[in-house]
Structure 1
Amino acid sequence: MPDAANSNVEAQTFDMREDPEGWTVYDTRTDEPARVKGVPQIGLEMEKADDLVDLLNRLAQRAGESFAL
């Protein structure tokens, strides 16, 4: 039986990493910065990046596939 905690991590489409100006939210499949309304999500405060990762992953999970913002 799959472990629910691990399956959530495996399904994570977006994550965050530190960059020179703050934090970047990126697409784990392409390794490119996530874009919201065409704006790359780089140089964010840690809390904002973390909130955005949660939001984008919830939206991706609901959509069940890749989507563009």
Structure 2
Amino acid sequence: MIKNFNAALIAKSLKEETKENRRRPYSKRKSKLDHLSVEIIELKKENVKNSEIQKWLSTQKIKVDHRTIGRWLEKNYRG
């Protein structure tokens, strides 16, 4: 038996840790495309296809599907 074992204190700290680790709703998360938003939008203004943007992103070490790029553009680009 462990001396000075306080189950209530341990339970409280575990619950706080779980709460901190809980993921935010998807709509409030940051996309990995967000930090390159200016570049992606500029490419789209130049009529670059989503699959071509996908290839460029792979050179930036970002792996996403071209459909993800399309959804991101629908949300972030009105052009």
Q: Same fold (TM over 0.5)?
A: no
Higher normalized contact order (CA 8 Å, seq sep 6+, divided by chain length): 1
Greater fraction helix: 2
Q: Which has the higher strand share?
A: 1
TM-score by length of 1: 0.28
Q: Which has the larger radius of gyration?
A: 2
Q: TM-score, normalised by structure 2?
A: 0.25
